[in-house]
């Protein structure tokens, strides 16, 4: 009898532990489960593509890039190194990131299908903020005391500057053959676009105030723009040649990202920022988080299809979360 009671108690203990682990792995917001990638509270810069996500983890003062495969549930380091790694991005089986190299940051990439890790293009000057689409990688390249956007096509091995300028160019985003970035014009940052199959570079929406944080998907570009003293999210459809405010509001909106017809951004409410979305096809919109303050730094939000990843402040640290937009 005592043995049976012991077995029952042991079984209940296991169930309680498993339930506790499950509740620690998810957070409920608006009756929707949001999966936490890891229990570590020093995570940033997520990038998601399909069923894979990468992010930057800080462990013992070292910055390390991790990969999560949502299909298999496996989490692993992308590349073992004694050097700091920053700002990852992923497209298919290819991952790019910044890595210190003798005190200089260079862009590295790994093809998961092959398992090889290589420097994209060695440089004695700084490289930063990589983005990738298919076989094309873009990044900020320090040259002549300014930052210019460079591009390498892994299929051809060719590296070029997108549109060399004496003004700083930064925060590139790429989709297929189209690249967007922000560049200083008459003292203000404006958004530029270049189709790599063509020779002309265009200002997306020229204004005499600030524009930041461009993101592109297919023929649609989004960015944040200062309008009447508030940051608002705008979207341009290159096919229709039209630009519109995504969702007019009196609150600041920042750091937009786009995938297909879905736009996600951070929006201020009081002293906090929360995650909002809009589907351009259905006009449906709403908020994705409403519990914790999200960060609104560059690269703090990523989207692929209807999967969104972002960074939240929790218990004095930062954690990467993700969810599916229904």
- For residue range 75-91, list pLDDT tens digits in order: 999 998 999 999 999 99
pLDDT band at 264 (very low <50, low <70, confident <90, very high): very high
The predicted pLDDT at position 19 comes to 37
Task: For Cα atoms 62, 64, 66, give the angle at the middle one, nearest 5 degrees.
Answer: 155
The predicted pLDDT at position 117 comes to 94
- Judge contact between 255 and 295, C-beta under 8 A: no
Rounded Cα distance between 132 and 113, Å, is: 16
The predicted pLDDT at position 5 comes to 39
pLDDT band at 311 (very low <50, low <70, confident <90, very high): very high
Q: What are 130-140's pLDDT values in tens digits?
A: 999 999 999 99
Q: Calculate what percentage of the chain has a pLDDT beyond 70.
A: 87
The predicted pLDDT at position 31 comes to 42
The predicted pLDDT at position 191 comes to 97
The predicted pLDDT at position 24 comes to 35
- Judge contact between 267 and 277, C-beta under 8 A: no
Concatenating the DSSP letter of every residue in 207-254 gives -SS-EEEEEEETTEEEEEEEETTEEEEEEEETTTTEEEESS--SS-EE
Most confident of 27-41, 113-127, 208-222: 208-222
Q: What are 193-211's pLDDT values in tens digits?
A: 999 999 899 999 888 889 9
Rounded Cα distance between 173 and 277, Å, is: 19
Q: Could you give the C-alpha distances from 147 to 136, 152, 170, 182, 325, in angstroms and in order? A: 19, 16, 7, 11, 36
Three-state DSSP at 206 gives coil
- Judge contact between 110 and 119, C-beta under 8 A: no
Enumerate the β-bridge partners of residue 307: 304, 324
Mean pLDDT of the chain: 87
Please indicate whether residue 172 or residue 116 has the higher confidence score (pLDDT): 172
Asked whether the predicted pLDDT for residue 248 surpasses 90, the reply is: yes
The predicted pLDDT at position 85 comes to 96
Asked whether the predicted pLDDT for residue 216 surpasses 60, the reply is: yes
| Residues contacting 138, CB < 8 A, separation 6+ | 130, 131, 132, 149, 150, 151, 162, 172, 174, 179
Burial label, 131 (beta-carbon count in 10 A; 0-12, 13-18, 19+) = buried
- For the chain, give the number of residues: 326
Q: What are 275-303's pLDDT values in tens digits?
A: 999 999 999 999 888 666 777 677 899 99
Q: What are 16-56's pLDDT values in tens digits?
A: 333 333 333 444 444 455 666 666 778 999 999 999 999 99
**Which pTM does this prediction carry?**
0.88
The predicted pLDDT at position 28 comes to 44
The predicted pLDDT at position 36 comes to 65
- Judge contact between 109 and 90, C-beta under 8 A: no
Enumerate the β-bridge partners of residue 179: 174, 194
């Amino acid at each position: 009898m005592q043995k049976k009671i012991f077995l029952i108690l042991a079984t209940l203990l296991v169930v309680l532990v498993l339930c506790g682990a499950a509740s620690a792995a998810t957070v409920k917001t608006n009756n929707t489960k949001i999966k936490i990638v890891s229990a570590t509270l020093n995570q940033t810069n997520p990038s998601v593509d399909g069923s894979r996500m990468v992010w930057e983890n800080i462990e013992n003062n070292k910055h390390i890039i991790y990969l999560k495969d949502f299909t298999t549930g496996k989490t692993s380091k992308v590349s073992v190194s004694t050097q700091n790694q920053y700002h990852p991005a992923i497209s298919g089986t290819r991952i790019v990131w910044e890595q210190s190299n003798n005190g200089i940051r260079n862009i590295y990439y790994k093809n998961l299908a092959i398992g090889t890790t290589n420097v994209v293009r060695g440089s004695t000057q700084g490289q930063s903020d990589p983005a990738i689409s298919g076989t094309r990688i873009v990044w900020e390249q320090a040259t002549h005391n300014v930052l210019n956007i460079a591009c390498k096509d892994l299929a051809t091995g060719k590296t070029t500057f997108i549109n060399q300028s004496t003004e700083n160019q930064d925060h590139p985003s790429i989709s297929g053959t189209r690249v967007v970035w922000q560049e200083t014009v008459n003292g203000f940052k404006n958004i530029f676009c270049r189709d790599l199959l063509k020779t002309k570079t265009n200002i997306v929406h020229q204004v005499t105030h600030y524009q930041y944080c461009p993101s592109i998907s297919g023929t649609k570009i989004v960015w944040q723009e200062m309008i009447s003293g508030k940051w608002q999210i705008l979207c341009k459809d290159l096919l229709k040649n039209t630009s519109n405010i995504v969702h007019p509001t009196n609150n600041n909106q920042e750091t937009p990202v786009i995938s297909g017809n879905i736009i996600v951004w951070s929006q201020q409410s009081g002293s906090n920022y929360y995650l909002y979305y809009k589907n351009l096809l259905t006009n449906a919109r709403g908020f994705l988080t409403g519990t914790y303050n999200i960060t609104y730094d560059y690269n703090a939000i990523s989207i692929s299809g209807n999967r969104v990843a972002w960074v939240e402040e929790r218990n004095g640290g930062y954690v990467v979360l993700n969810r599916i937009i229904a």
